[in-house]
Structure formats: structure tokens, C-alpha cells
Amino acid sequence: MKQPTVLFCHAGRTGGDTLNRVLQSVYHPYGSQHYDTSQAAWPHLRSAPAEALKKIRCFYGHGVYFGFHSFLAAPTTYITLVRNPVKRIVSQYYCYLHDPNRGMHKYITENNISLEQYQREARNEQAHYVFGFPHYRLTRPEVKDLPELFDNIKNHFAYVGVTELYDESLFLLHKRLDWDRWWFWTKTLANPKRPELEELSPALLKDIESQNDLDIALYNYASDTLTKELEALSPDDRQALAEYKEAQEIFTQLQAQCPTQIDSGFCGILLQKRKLNITCLSFHAEVSNALLQFAQAVDSIEGRSITWENIFYNTPSDLPAVFKHSQAKAQLEQADFIVVLTHPGQDYVARKHLEELGIRPHRIHFPLRG
């Protein structure tokens, strides 16, 4: 059954840039569309051919708000991440203050905007996305409007994750969106110049809290819901969550060792199961041996085992014969994943042949960066 188009509402400083990259990997750059602002999104949605929009399986970014689905003919579902509102406001302000590449940097620095001033302008931004645009700007919601916010979540959102429980949120998102393999994340945009909350005035923190009453209600709702979901996990799912968190930790370590020419997604392939059978279809023995050495590093970890087999060919014209060879065909069909090293421009040909053998796309991986 075809899954609904995913709409990710990305409030700033919630870990959304990290999730953006995961979504782009899951749905492929050609099947996903990023909008950094609503000003960029609305004109494109109004002018783009309906057939072109149908091919996009995921829209994500700061420009995606509740209400986005009204522009699309396909069934949709929303997801979002929320963070402790006080921590989010502080993080966002210092990110803008210290990063000249941020759009708000010039406004804050040239006008000497303090955190106290900024937090009054940026209040309840997370609820903003769930209430929807332009409704939020036309009639700024109040606490009495919270039932509408919760109705939007219950009726239109597949999932609301919590930044402080990132692994758990991503694990449950896999289940909710029925992803067919594990996807791992890489933390970015850490802000070392941001002060700890304990270094800020208690009165200021209290003011930020009072200004973000809707965000706090949303955050508490999401946190409570997530806690209940985790408590209700079956024993098998609890074990799967523990294994996912362990694999995520190993993934982080592997990335630090990953050669620049190898896509980090290859590290993720090596961690899909504790016992893994990989076939490498390659025209380049030296590169496939380098990948094998990387796989052996995972194989050496206690409790993990990787069986690696190579199928070599010389030129793209050899591929049809390779796919017809009974032994090679059986080897490819039995592999958990097929790692493919092709000549430049030949990825499509290899993928087409593999899919004709009945091999599902999620089992095929091209490890070299384009």
C-alpha cells in the first residue's frame, strides 16, 4: 500500500536539520522537496503541475506548516519535533547571534537585540507550525485555543517527536512511517557559544517560560505521549529499541573513521542487523577491498557478524551477463544488501537490472559519493 506524503514541520533549533537529512536519505533527493521559508513554498505549490507534486513523497523544512496538505492531491501526514521551549529559545538566539550565515544575524547584531527582546518576538514558534500559517499570524492563538492545536495533532499528525529523546523519537518514527530499514542520524549545528541555562538570570528564564505557554503545553503533551508509547512497547520492540540505540552509537563512531569518498549511509548499511550477508558488485577490486576492511571493523565488534562476498565485472557491457549467471544471481538474491560499485553514470543501469531480479530498492546501496 502506498504511504501518504510526509510533511515535516521544522521549527528552528529542535534537531530538524538532522531529521531533514534522514528524510532526504529515506525518500531520495528526487522524491523530496525542501522549503526554507513559506514565501518560497506557496508560489511553487500554486504553480507546480499536479503530476510533478505527486512524485514528491516528502516535503520538509521551515516553510512547511499545518495547512500545507491543502495544496496537494495525494493523501498526506504531518510529523514534527518539539524541544523544551526555554532551551529552544536560548539556543536559537545564540545561534543567530554568532552565525553570520543566519538570516536573523544582521537584524540582531545591527539592532543590538538582547535575548530578553528576542524571546518576545519568537514566542510559541513550535505551536505556530501546528496551528498553521497564515492562521497564526492573522489571529495569534491563546491558551483557550489549545484544543484546536491538539485536534490538529490527533487528526493530521502521524508523529510528534521530542528532541531530548532523539533516538527514541526516531525509532518510533520508523514504525509509524513503516520504513523498511534502519536510518541513523548525525548531530550537527551544535552551538558551543551558547551559555548554559544556569548562567542566565532566573527572572529571564521565568519570563521566557511565561511567554511560551502554548509551546510548553505542546511540549508537555508530546513528552507525555512519547513516555506512554515507550512504556507500552512490547518486549520485542523494547529489544529492537535497545539494538537501534546501540547501532546508533556505533554509527557515530564509524562516521569519524569513514573516508570522505564513501557515503556515510554505507556505515548505516553495516549496522542493519547483528548478522548480515552483503554482496559487493564491483568493477574495482581495490575499492571493494577498502569497503571490506571497513565492514571487517564492524564484524570485529562482539555480537556482530558480516559475511562479505564479491562479484567482479570489467565493463558496463558485462552487467547483463553477470545478472544472467545462475551462481551470481543466487548470490545477489540471498544477500541482505547489495553494495554496488559502478562506472560513472551507470548506477541506473545496475539498479534496473537488480530490480528486474525482484530485489527491492532498499536492499541496493551505492556507497561512493557522487
pLDDT digits (tens, 9 = 90+) for 274-331: 999 999 999 999 999 999 999 999 999 999 999 999 999 998 888 889 989 999 999 9
C-alpha to C-alpha distance for 65 and 133, rounded to whole angstroms: 6
Question: 214 with 322, same domain?
Answer: no
For residue range 244-268, list pLDDT tens digits in order.
999 999 999 998 888 888 998 999 9
Distance CA 61, CA 38 (A): 9
291 lies in the same domain as 359: yes
The amino acid occupying position 305 is S
207 in the same domain as 104: yes
66-104: b or e for each residue (b if 16 or more CB lie within 10 Å)? bbbbebbeeebbbbbbbbbbbbbbbbbbbbbbeeeeeeb
Same domain, 49 and 139: yes
Residue ending a domain, choose from 231, 252, 287: 231
Sheet arrangement for strand 76-82: 32-34, 58-61, 5-9, 76-82, 157-162
Is residue 333 situated within a structural domain?
yes
End residue of a domain, out of 191, 214, 231: 231
Q: Are 80 and 99 contacting, i.e. CB atoms less than 8 angstroms apart?
A: no
Same domain for 43 and 119?
yes
Instruction: Mark which of 231, 246, 277 sits at the end of a domain.
Output: 231
**By residue range, what is the domain housing residue 172?**
5-231
pLDDT on residue 140: 75
Considering the domain architecture, whether residues 184 and 50 belong to the same structural domain is answered as yes
User: How many structural domains are present in the chain?
Assistant: 2
Positions of the chain with pLDDT under 50: 135-136
99 in a domain, yes or no? yes
CA distance linking residue 292 with residue 300, whole number of Å: 12
Helix (H) or strand (E) run with residue 252 in it: helix 235-257
Place of cell 515507550: 230
Task: Give a yes or no: residue 299 inside a domain.
Answer: yes
Torsion of CA 200, 205, 208, 210, to 10 degrees: -170
Whole-prediction pTM: 0.94
Per the rule left: phi > 0, alpha: psi between -120 and 50, beta: everything else, 132 is: left
Which CATH number characterizes residue 298's domain?
3.40.50.2300
pLDDT score at 136: 47
- pLDDT for position 133: 61
Question: Is 24 in the same domain as 94?
Answer: yes
